[in-house]
Chain A
Amino acid sequence: MLLISCPWCGPRDETEFVYGEAAVERPADPASTTDAEWTDYLYFRDNPKGEHKELWFHRSGCHRWFVLERNTVTHAIAGAYPPKARPVTEDEA
C-alpha cells in the first residue's frame, strides 16, 4: 500500500489515485520526428528495475496530474512534483 504525497493535496492513500503511465517526454515537434522516433515515443519503454518516473492522476482529490518518482522494486517514493517542474532538491525542501 502506497502513501502518495500529491503536490497539491498532501499525503493520501493509494486508492485515491490512478496510475497513468511512464513519464515519457513527448517530442517537442511531433511533425518533424521520424517514424522511428515517434514509434519509440509511443511504444518503447525503458521499464527500469529501480527508480522510475511516472504520471499519476489524483482521481478522488484535486483531479490533477503529477510526476511520481518511485522505485519499482521497493515501491519507495522519492518525490512528487507537478509535470514539467523539476524535483525539489533536499536543500530546498
Chain B
Amino acid sequence: MSRRYSIWALARNALRHHEGWQKAWRSPEPKPAYDALIIGGGGHGLATAYYLAKLHGLHNIAVLERGWIGGGNTGRNTTIVRSNYLLDENALFYEHSLKLWEGLSEDLNYNVMFSQRKVINTCHTPAEREATVRRYNSMRLLGIDAEFLSREDLARIEPAMNLSPDSRFPILCALAQPRGGSARHDAVAWGYARAADALGVDIIQNCEVTGIDRDQATGAVIGVQTTRGQIEARKIGIAVAGHSSQVAAMAGVRLPIESHLLQAFVSEPVKPFLNTVVSTGAAHFYISQTNKGEVLLGGELDGYNSFSQRGTLPKVQDVVANATEMFPCIGRLRFMRQWAGVMDMTMDGSPIIGKLPVQGLYMSGGWCYGGFKATPGSGWCLAWTIAKDEPHKLNAGLSLERFRTGHMIDEKGAGPFPKAH
C-alpha cells in the first residue's frame, strides 16, 4: 500500500476505521558505518538529511538524536516564519528558506500548516521608524515583499491592537511582510523525518553522541562514539542548536557561541481575534494566535547563560506586561503552558552554516532564537556544504571564518555581544 498521504488514502483508511495507517518512519538499529552522519534530530538535522538524500543522492546516511525527534527547540519555539532582514547575507538566506516553506507541504507530502498570515513589526519612535524604512528599502531592493503600514492600516488589520497615543510606548507605524506567517512546528519535524526515511535515511532516536573520532594522522573525522556504540562516517554535520559548543568541543573546536534561555507561553484557547503575527523590536515581544486558538507569545532572553531549559519569573512579568499593553483584551486570559529552550547565541547575532576547521566536520548553528524559520534553508545549505565540501553562495558569508576575517553580519549594529539576534 502506498505510503503517500492524499484524500484517497484518507478515504480508504476511513472505510477501514483508520486501522491501516503505517508508521511514518522506521526505527532502525544503527549500522556500523554511513557515508554521512547528522548529529541532532530536530528540524534542521532532519531537513539536512532530507536534502542530502533528495538533492545530492546520499542515501546511506543517518540522523542521530539524543532524545526524540523534534523534542528540542523545534518543539519549543513560537513558529514564526519571515525573511524581513536588513543585511544581504541574512536576507537572501532567509528569503531562500521562505521560498522553500512556500512549497514545503507539497514537497514533503505532509501538511506543515504553513499559514502566510503576515508578520507585522511595530515602530514606536521616530528613530525606529527611520531604521525600519531603511530595512523596508533594503528588502524591496533584494526582491523581498514588504509593506509599510500606518496606524490606520494597523487598526484595520488588527482591531484588538492598542493604538492609543496614550499607551506606554505609542505605536507610530509598522513594517509588514505579507508572505511571512507561521507553521506547525511538530509537523515540520515529522514531515522531514517521514520524507527522509522514505529516501532511505536512518533516523536513530535515543542515541546520544558522546565523542567524535578523528584520524590521528590527518585529523579528519572518522566517526562518532554514541550511547548505542561506535558509528563510522567521513562526513559529520552538527545541528544541535543550544549544545553546539559542547558537540563541537568533542572535535576540539571552540565556537563564538553562548547558550541562553528563551521562554514562550500559550494561553487557553479562545476564538480567533489575532489575524497576523505581531512583533515589536522596541519592547522585544511577539504574539500570534495558533490554529487551535491559543495565544502564543514570547519575549527576550532570560539574560544570562543557561542550559536549564526552564525559565525564570522576571521575564514572565516582562512578556505579560508587553502583551497586556499591546493587546489589553487578553488581560484576563490564563496561561496554559510555559516552557524554555536553550538558544545558541553567536557574537554577531547571525547564524553559522558551513565547514568547521576539522576535515569532514560541518555545522549549522548559532540560530540566536530565529532558527525555526530557517529550518528548510538551513537544511538545504548544510546539505549542499556537506555534499560538495564547500558552502553554497547563500551560506558562504555565514561561515565561522567571518569572526576571524572581520566580516561580521551584525543586523543590530552592536557587538561583539552574545545576546544580539
Q: Is A8 an interface residue (CB 8 A)?
A: no
Q: Which of under 10, 10 to 19, 20 to 34, or 35 or more describes the interface residues of B?
A: 20 to 34
How close is B406's CB to chain A, nearest CB, in angstroms? 9
In Å, the complex CA distance between A21 and B304 comes to 8
- Which residue of chain A has the shortest Cβ distance to B344 in the bound complex? A47
Chain B residues 163 to 186 lying within 8 A of chain A, measured CB to CB, are: none
Contact: A47 with B416, CB < 8 Å? no
Pick from B141-149, B251-259, B289-297 the stretch touching chain A: B251-259
Judge if B191 is at the interface, Cβ distance under 8 Å.
no
B312 touches A14 (CB 8 A): yes
A76 CA / B209 CA spacing, docked (Å)? 27
Check if A89 is an interface residue, CB within 8 A of chain B: no
**Chain A residues within an 8 Å CB radius of B417:** 21
Given the known interface contacts A19-B304, A44-B255, A73-B307, the answer about A49 and B312 at a Cβ–Cβ threshold of 8 Å is: no
Given contacts A1-B312, A36-B404, A39-B404, contact A45 B307 (CB under 8 A): no
Inside 8 A of A39's CB, which chain B residues have their CB? 403-404
A45 contact from B243, B313, B418, Cβ within 8 A: B418
- Residues on B with beta carbons closer than 8 Å to the beta carbon of A35: 404
B389–chain A nearest beta-carbon distance, Å: 24
Q: Are B254 and A40 within 8 A (Cβ)?
A: yes
Interface residue? A46 (CB, 8 A): yes
Interface residues as binary, A7-20 with B (CB distance below 8 Å gives 1, 0 otherwise): 00000001100110
| Cα distance A45–B255 in the bound complex, in angstroms | 6
B304 contacts A54, C-beta separation under 8 Å? yes
Does chain B have a CB within 8 A of A74? yes
| Residues on the A chain within 8 Å of B305, using CB | 22, 47, 52, 54, 72
Q: Interface 1/0s, chain A 68-85, versus B by CB < 8 A?
A: 001011110000000000
B309 nearest CB neighbor, chain A only:
A73
Q: Please, how many angstroms separate the alpha-carbon atoms of A29 and B313 in the complex?
A: 41
A42 on the interface (CB 8 Å rule)?
yes
Residue on A nearest B243 in the bound complex, by CB: A49
A2 within 8 A of B: yes
Cα distance A45–B347 in the bound complex, in angstroms:
9
Whether B255 pairs with A22 at a CB distance below 8 angstroms is no
Given contact pairs A2-B312, A14-B314, A44-B256, A72 touches B307 in the complex (Cβ within 8 A)? yes
User: For residue A75, which residues in chain B have a CB less than 8 angstroms away from its CB?
Assistant: 306, 308
Give the residue of A14, A43, A46 whose beta carbon is less than 8 angstroms from that of B245: A46
Contacts of B258 in A (CB 8 A): 22, 45, 47
The reply to whether the CB of B125 lies closer than 8 angstroms to some CB of chain A is: no
Q: Flag whether B159 is at the interface (Cβ < 8 A).
A: no
Would A45 and B308 count as touching, CB distance under 8 A? Answer: no
Closest chain-B Cβ to A85's Cβ sits at a distance in Å of 21
Is B304's CB under 8 angstroms from A49's CB?
Answer: no
Look across to chain A and name the residue whose beta carbon is closest to the beta carbon of B310: A75
Residue of A nearest to B402 (CB): A43
The reply to whether A49 and B403 form a contact with Cβ atoms under 8 Å apart is no
Q: List 14 A-B contacts (CB under 8 A).
A: A1-B313, A2-B312, A14-B312, A35-B404, A39-B404, A40-B254, A43-B256, A44-B256, A45-B245, A45-B258, A47-B258, A49-B243, A72-B307, A72-B308
Chain B residues at the A interface, C-beta cutoff of 8 Å: 243, 245-246, 254-259, 303-308, 312-314, 347, 403-404, 416-418
The 9 nearest A-B residue pairs measured at CB: A47-B245, A43-B256, A19-B304, A43-B347, A43-B403, A49-B307, A44-B254, A72-B305, A19-B303
